[in-house]
Structure 1
Amino acid sequence: MERGLVLLVAALVVYVTPSVQGTAHLSFSNDTVDITRTGCGVSKLCVESPEDCDPAGGSGCLFASVTATIPVAPNGTTLSIELRGESSGFIALGLTANVSQGTTLLFICGQNNLTNGSFFFRTRERINPDSASTANERIVTDIRGMVNGSVIKCEFNIPNVNATNIASRSSHATTAVIVLGNGTANGTDVGAFTIIRDSGPLNLADPASNVNGTAANNSGGAVQPHAVLLLLSVLSLLMLRA
């Protein structure tokens, strides 16, 4: 039976206690969450498994897109996330500097099997490379989610993301590894997280950073948009001085 219930949240804060996570007041709507490949590589950075799968209708497609605010504010950028996958428990997007060390911030969208598959949202912290995670306090805004059978879809914003709060050692303030995966859930209690896709280091502010082998350090040789703007500025300055 289709469950088109969508969770709309103006702001969510997960408060960390030894065993309890509290949330802000929740409101509900019967709208749907539509996630497509439109804009991939142009206006949004897309990561998926299997490669180039269709989140709008492809069975087995685990898909995420990231859109970063430009320019980056002094305290970081806001990331707008789309996440789609299939699970009887939860799907998750993680941000980390290195999947084999440090930590991963997990943003979890799941279905509550104790309440007829209603949608729930959690933030967690994973100690790499363990599969287990612990409660983590993280402000997330504008959460929308829906469950339809085994398909889970959600959208949310992560404010103030920078190299410090994703434990990145990169000099680029918006460089991070995106991990996608899933796991089991008992009600809203989540089990171990299993990684299905590891993107490698990407510039989250560049929608084309994983296109044609240009991920991470842009070693593929493609000219990035910010490089073109810089080149045009230099050429204009030289022409004015001529």
Structure 2
Amino acid sequence: MDSGSRVVFAVIMIMACMGTRANGLSSITAPNTLPSGNISRANCGTTQLCAAQPAGCNPSVSGSCFFVSTSLISGQNFSFHLQGQSSGYVAVGLSRTIKTGQNDSVYVCANINNTVNFSSTLYNNGVLTHTNTQANLVMGSVSGQTIRCIFSATVPNATSTKSSSTSFFLSIYNGTLTNGLPSIPKAVFISTAPVDLSNPTAIATNSLYMGIISRANCGTTQFCAAQPAGCNPSVSGSCFFVSTILISGQNFYFQLQGQSSGYVAVLLSKTTTTGQYYSVYVCANINNTFKLFSIIYNNGTLTPTNTLPSNLVTGSVSGQTIQCIFSALVPNATSTKKSTSFFISIYNGTVTNGLLGSPNAIFTSTAAVDLSNPNATATNRLTSASPNAFGLQRTLSQALPILLGGLVFIMM
């Protein structure tokens, strides 16, 4: 989010606390305290549509539960119940396509000095912009990390979905606030298909937590690469697999799986030349604790970085199989024909005494592939024993143990 947008959002929040209006609509302070039991699953499937992460969790009991329900008032006007855990804000998003962050309607409930403040926004290319969409906060509360709010909103017409004017891809987000400035929304739930907000019996399944990494959506909503070619990560056996789904702009979801006693990693390169500013995302099992690292590899040096924002969604270790799902804001691939086209590689390696060992290259694409194109094809260069591919593996092997050892020390 650029500094100008951050300032606008901060001003909105500040004006909300003062009870004034911004751009024609207040960012409203909750007028009432909302008892924890007022948001529940009691009417799910009868009078309200419900979506939650974990699936089926009950927002009226203690524990982590991201939950949203909708009930039709009339026409495009709905009542929303929203709950989630965050030190900053929770939000619900409505998107006309699976690619979220393209002028989506996002309703934000933020914790400002332990008081819920509400704002209606448009989410586009990683930026939340205040809008004068008709929406009103009914009540809200903050209890520790749990934010709850009930509000009404007149949703836009879902013109690009097929089922009805009230069918959207439904998302739940959370994020932090630093000095009143919001982070980029982190998705906790994105439905696999449009759901009709007016249909209490509709089922919303979380595309981010389907419980397993698979090839189900390869070629339709996600780009996939694997070794052996075409292997299925959802069945037993060795399969190194990575998939990408465009969220918006340069922001992607990654699904990564591989076999290792230590770590698996995906690398994005703008060129085939070794040591030229690679982005590396490492999913590691360190002392039975799952960690995600974002690092830059350039001219033989690996450096932990904050310039590659990434967030671990979920990760697991089962025997030798490591799985992780994470979001990442990838750099602009300026040296390729499109900003989202990279040479993509998969690696694995060991972890010894908390230090990541030398990487072993499993897959390196023969050409730059567009991560945003589900129909893109990635062929493994290593099967043809390319000198460039093995040069990359050798150079990384020399640099990784020392510098990632320092990274692990910093992160733990």
1:207 aligns with 2:200: yes
Letter paired with 1:177: F
Letter paired with 2:128: S
Structure 1 residues 31, 154: closer, same or farther in 2, change over 3 A?
closer
CA RMSD of aligned residues (A): 2.8
1:121 aligns with 2:124: no
Residue of structure 2 in register with 1:218 after alignment: none
Looking at structure 2, the residues matched to 94 and 39 of structure 1 have their Cα atoms a distance apart, in angstroms, of: 21
Looking at structure 2, the residues matched to 134 and 25 of structure 1 have their Cα atoms a distance apart, in angstroms, of: 16
- Runs (5+) with no aligned partner, structure 1: 1-8, 213-242
Match of residue 170, structure 2, among 178, 182, 196: 178
Task: Please identify, of 90-99 and 182-191, the stretch whose mean Cα deviation from structure 2 is larger.
Answer: 182-191
Structure 1 residues 65, 27: closer, same or farther in 2, change over 3 A?
closer
Structure 1 residues 26, 132: closer, same or farther in 2, change over 3 A?
closer
1:100 aligns with 2:103: no
Looking at structure 1, the residues matched to 87 and 204 of structure 2 have their Cα atoms a distance apart, in angstroms, of: 32
Residue of structure 2 in register with 1:84 after alignment: 83
1:133 aligns with 2:136: no
**Other structure's SS at 1:111 match:** strand
Select the structure of larger CA radius of gyration.
2
Looking at structure 1, the residues matched to 196 and 165 of structure 2 have their Cα atoms a distance apart, in angstroms, of: 9
Looking at structure 1, the residues matched to 83 and 28 of structure 2 have their Cα atoms a distance apart, in angstroms, of: 24
Residue of structure 1 in register with 2:49 after alignment: 45
Looking at structure 2, the residues matched to 93 and 14 of structure 1 have their Cα atoms a distance apart, in angstroms, of: 22
**Other structure's SS at 2:150 match:** strand
Tell me, yes or no, if the aligned pair for 1:131 and 1:194 is still in contact at 8 Å: no
Shift, 1:123, TM fit:
1.6
Letter paired with 1:155: I
Equivalent residue runs for 1:125-204 within 5 Å: 125-127=122-124, 130-159=125-154, 161-163=155-157, 166=158, 168-170=160-162, 172-186=164-178, 188-199=180-191, 200-204=193-197
Residue of structure 2 in register with 1:109 after alignment: 109
Tell me, yes or no, if the aligned pair for 1:141 and 1:157 is still in contact at 8 Å: yes
Letter paired with 1:43: T
Letter paired with 2:131: N
Residue of structure 1 in register with 2:268 after alignment: none
- Runs (5+) with no aligned partner, structure 2: 1-15, 206-412
Match of residue 72, structure 2, among 68, 72, 88: 68
Aligned residues: 185
Match of residue 31, structure 2, among 28, 33, 38: 28
Q: Which runs of 4+ in 1 moved over 4 A?
A: 24-27
Letter paired with 1:123: S
Tell me, yes or no, if the aligned pair for 1:14 and 1:123 is still in contact at 8 Å: no
Tell me, yes or no, if the aligned pair for 2:31 and 2:138 is still in contact at 8 Å: no
Q: Deviations over 1:46-90 (max 9, x none)?
A: 001010011011411000000013xx5xxx321100001110000
Letter paired with 1:32: P
Structure 1 residues 23, 49: closer, same or farther in 2, change over 3 A?
same
Shift, 1:141, TM fit:
2.2
Looking at structure 1, the residues matched to 156 and 54 of structure 2 have their Cα atoms a distance apart, in angstroms, of: 28
The share of aligned pairs that are identical, in percent, is: 23
